[in-house]
């Protein structure tokens, strides 16, 4: 343990009753962040960055976000230019709409969430490789075509291919990571992807440090 | 490409791993977190902890085990054994597990599957099925205990029957029908153990694997019977399994995870390289 606790960047992990938030918290702590798990908009004021995790369905998650008054807060945060990282559903909810339900997403990204094509098992569950097409610092030092843990039935299909930062193959080539401005988001679970995943969180923590 | 997963299974009794690894220098061979790290370093793609705690006083200890492990090992963790209610599921997930595996409770009350899946998502609900090849006496209609007998009970075409209590208690339920129902109720994965093959190290029950794997559209984990490297290949190539689970051959050091991955890789089966790098 070091005495640098005060210098650690404060990262808020958004809690909106969607999936295993504890492992995201633990992975970020291990990566050098001071982590606050919160579903309260007021807690974001003291944060240097936001991590938006999530598993489950788009509709119920969007309803939870709205009920907690977090939908607009998150959009404001993203527009403010401060570091933001989405994980799994936290990538999908950035888009405008989803095949999975009727609720609109946050709409930060143009495009929609589509069901994985038929012909293979759903969910797409397990370790798959990512071909990175980005020089964003959050993916620095992560080997090309290295493996990450995925669990999902839907995929993000952003309109602008320029923001796609990673590609993965499962029945079709799909967007497994995006990066633009202050936003990164991944379809896989870095907190469940061993060293490769921890490297991404460590990079994110460094990115937060350099941004604040 | 999606890789086939290699999963070691650890039995946990009152917070300690039993029948654990005894052949390597671990500081504490019964410490779940240390063993989890050991298998993570070997290249395990996931871990399954089976809570075999008999005494109800000690049941809560699994929660602190899960907490310890999830603070130190960042790969998926499934916990099974003694999980009965949606509250049990919630507690295990909140402790840091990624999935829970339901067995007897799901058979007694299949609604537990749908309730848990609706609340936490299908991705974290594994239904564990213990299958045994039927003998002709089991076709008796009266052997159907838990369900509407028209839907799930054994018929002349049934080859495998669902058992509980470590293969001691027959249920009168057909394995393939139960697998399909579990999927329909919201299970995200099936952990399929052959009680005939388990412990014999003569190979997985390939016919069982194939039949279930081709019937459902969710991943199937093969369990029971691994003894040689080629058994893993059979389970994947011939049994169509999405993942293979084994216990004793890893714990006894017959093979390590890397050996299995090297072998499967040499057969052209996609595996995640050990060391987690490309």
**Mean pLDDT for the stretch of residues B221-230:** 96
Q: Which of A26, A121, A129 sits opposite B219 (nearest CB)?
A: A121
Kindly give, in sequence order, each residue whose CB lies less than 8 Å from that of residue B87, ignoring residues fewer than 6 positions away: none
Q: How far apart are CA B88 and CA B103, in angstroms?
A: 13
A41-78 pLDDT, tens digit each: 999 999 999 999 987 777 888 888 999 999 999 999 99
Q: What percentage of chain A reaches a pLDDT higher than 70?
A: 96
Which residue numbers of A are catalytic?
88, 189, 191
pLDDT value for A5: 53
**B interface test, pick of A15, A17, A55, A125 with most B CB neighbours within 10 Å:** A125
What CATH code is assigned to A10-211?
A: 3.40.50.880
pLDDT value of residue B177:
96
| Residue in chain B lying closest to A169 (CA) | B1
Q: What is the ipTM of this complex?
A: 0.90
Q: Categorize the per-residue pLDDT at A182 as very low, low, confident or very high, splitting at 50, 70 and 90.
A: very high
The shortest CB-CB distance from B189 to any of A125, A147, A152 is to: A125
Q: What is the model's pLDDT at position A152?
A: 92
pTM of the model: 0.93
The pLDDT-based confidence of B278 (bands split at 50, 70, 90) is: very low
What average pLDDT score do residues B224-239 get?
97
Instruction: Round to the nearest angstrom and report the end-to-end CA distance of chain A.
Output: 23
Asked if the Cβ–Cβ distance from B242 to A126 is below 8 Å, we say yes
User: Residue A18, Cα to own-chain centre: how many angstroms?
Assistant: 13
**Angle separating helix axes B257-266 and B32-42, nearest 10 degrees:** 30
Per the rule left: phi > 0, alpha: psi between -120 and 50, beta: everything else, B173 is beta
Contact A19 B121 (CB under 8 A): yes
Alpha-carbon span B48 to B265, nearest angstrom: 23
In chain B, residues with a C-beta closer than 8 Å to the C-beta of A153 are 122
pLDDT at site B156: 83
pLDDT by residue (tens digit) across B186-222? 999 999 999 999 989 999 999 999 999 999 999 999 9
CA distance B66 to chain A (A): 11
Is residue A3's pLDDT more than 60? no
Q: pLDDT tens digits, residue range B111-169?
A: 999 999 988 889 999 999 999 999 754 555 544 455 554 579 898 889 999 999 878 89
Average pLDDT in the A174-183 region?
A: 97
Instruction: Say if the Cβ atoms of A126 and B75 lie within 8 Å.
Output: no
pLDDT of residue A58: 78
Higher pLDDT, B221 or B53: B221
More confident residue, B26 or B65: B65
Interatomic CA distance for residues A190 and B244, integer angstroms: 23
Is-contact A154 A166, C-beta < 8 A? Answer: no
Rounded to a whole number of angstroms, the distance from the CA of A163 to the nearest CA of chain B is 22
Whether the pLDDT of residue B70 is over 80: the answer is: yes
Statement: residue B55 has pLDDT above 80: no
Give the per-residue pLDDT at B143.
47
Query: Measured between CB atoms, which of A22, A55, A170 is closest to B2?
Result: A170
% chain B with pLDDT above 90: 73
Other C-beta atoms lying within 10 Å of the C-beta of residue A102: 9
What pLDDT sits at residue B149?
A: 46
Q: Percentage of chain B with pLDDT > 70?
A: 92
Q: Chain-wide mean pLDDT for chain A? A: 93
Confidence of residue A143 (pLDDT cuts 50, 70, 90): very high
**Contacts from B111-116 at CB under 8 Å and sequence distance 24+?**
B111/B185, B112/B84, B112/B85, B112/B86, B113/B182, B113/B185, B113/B186, B113/B187, B114/B185, B114/B186, B115/B86, B116/B86, B116/B89, B116/B186
- For B150, half-sphere exposure in the C-beta direction (CA atoms, 13 angstrom radius) is 0
Chain B residues in contact with A127 (beta carbon < 8 A): 2-3, 5, 45, 272
- Rounded to a whole number of angstroms, the distance from the CA of B126 to the nearest CA of chain A is 12
Q: What are phi and psi of A186, to 5 degrees?
A: -130, 145
Provide mean pLDDT across the span A81-90.
Answer: 96
Burial B120-149 (b: 16+ CB within 10 A, else e): bbbbbbbbbbbbbbbeeebbeeebbebbee
Residue A209: CB atoms within 10 Å: 16
**Mean pLDDT of the residues in chain B:** 90
Q: What count of other Cβ atoms lies within 10 Å of the Cβ of residue B189?
A: 29
Q: What is the rounded distance in angstroms from the CA atom of residue A112 to the CA atom of residue A89?
A: 13
- Angle B274-B276-B277 from CA coordinates, rounded to 5°: 105
Q: What is the mean pLDDT of residues A176-203?
A: 97
Compute the nearest-CA separation of B140 from chain A (Å).
35
> What is the SS3 assignment for A3?
coil
**What is the pLDDT averaged over residues A171-180?**
97
pLDDT digits (tens, 9 = 90+) for A16-48: 876 678 889 999 999 999 999 999 999 999 999
With CA atoms as reference, report the closest residue to A166 among A148, A193, A191, A192. Answer: A148
């Amino acid at each position: 343990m070091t005495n640098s606790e005060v210098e650690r960047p404060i990262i808020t992990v958004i809690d909106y009753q969607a999936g295993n938030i504890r492992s995201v918290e633990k992975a970020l702590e291990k990566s050098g962040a001071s982590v606050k798990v919160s579903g309260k908009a007021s807690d974001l004021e003291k944060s240097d960055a936001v991590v938006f995790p999530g598993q489950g369905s788009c509709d119920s998650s969007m309803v939870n976000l709205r009920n907690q008054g977090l939908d607009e807060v998150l959009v404001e945060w993203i527009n403010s230019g401060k570091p933001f990282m989405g994980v799994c559903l936290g990538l999908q909810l950035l888009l405008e709409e989803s095949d999975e339900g009727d609720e609109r997403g946050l709409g930060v990204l143009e495009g929609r969430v589509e069901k994985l094509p038929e012909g293979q098992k759903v969910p797409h569950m397990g370790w798959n490789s990512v071909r990175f097409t980005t020089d964003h610092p959050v993916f620095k030092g992560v080997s090309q075509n290295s493996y990450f843990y995925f669990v999902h039935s839907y995929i993000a299909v952003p309109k602008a291919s320029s923001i796609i930062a990673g590609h993965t193959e499962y029945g079709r080539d799909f967007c497994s990571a995006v990066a633009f401005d202050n936003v990164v988001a991944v379809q896989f679970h870095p907190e469940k992807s061993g060293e490769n995943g921890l490297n991404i969180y460590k990079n994110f923590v460094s990115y937060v440090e350099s941004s604040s | 490409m999606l890789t086939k997963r290699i999963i070691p299974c650890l039995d946990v009794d009152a917070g300690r791993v039993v029948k654990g690894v005894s052949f390597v220098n671990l500081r504490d061979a019964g410490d779940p977190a240390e063993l989890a790290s050991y298998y993570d370093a070997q290249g395990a793609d996931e871990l399954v902890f089976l809570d075999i705690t008999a005494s109800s006083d000690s049941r809560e200890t699994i929660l602190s085990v899960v907490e310890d492990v999830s603070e130190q090992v960042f790969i998926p963790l499934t916990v099974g054994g003694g999980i009965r209610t949606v509250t049990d599921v919630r507690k295990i997930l909140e402790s840091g597990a990624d999935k829970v595996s339901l067995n007897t409770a799901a058979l007694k009350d299949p609604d537990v599957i749908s309730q848990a899946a609706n609340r936490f998502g299908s991705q974290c609900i594994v239904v564990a099925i213990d299958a045994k090849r039927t003998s002709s006496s089991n076709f008796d209609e009266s052997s159907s205990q838990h369900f509407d007998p028209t839907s799930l009970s054994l018929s002349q075409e049934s080859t495998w029957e669902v058992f509980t209590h470590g293969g001691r208690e027959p249920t009168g339920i057909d394995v393939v029908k139960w697998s399909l129902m579990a999927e329909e109720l919201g299970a995200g994965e099936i952990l399929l153990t052959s009680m005939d093959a388990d412990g014999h190290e003569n190979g997985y029950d390939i016919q069982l694997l194939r039949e279930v794997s081709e019937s459902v559209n969710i991943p199937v984990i093969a369990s029971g019977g691994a003894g040689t490297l080629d058994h893993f290949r059979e389970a994947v190539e011939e049994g169509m399994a999405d993942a293979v689970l084994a216990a004793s051959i890893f714990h006894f050091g017959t093979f390590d995870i890397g050996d299995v991955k090297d072998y499967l890789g040499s057969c052209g089966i996609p595996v995640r390289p050990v060391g987690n790098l490309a």
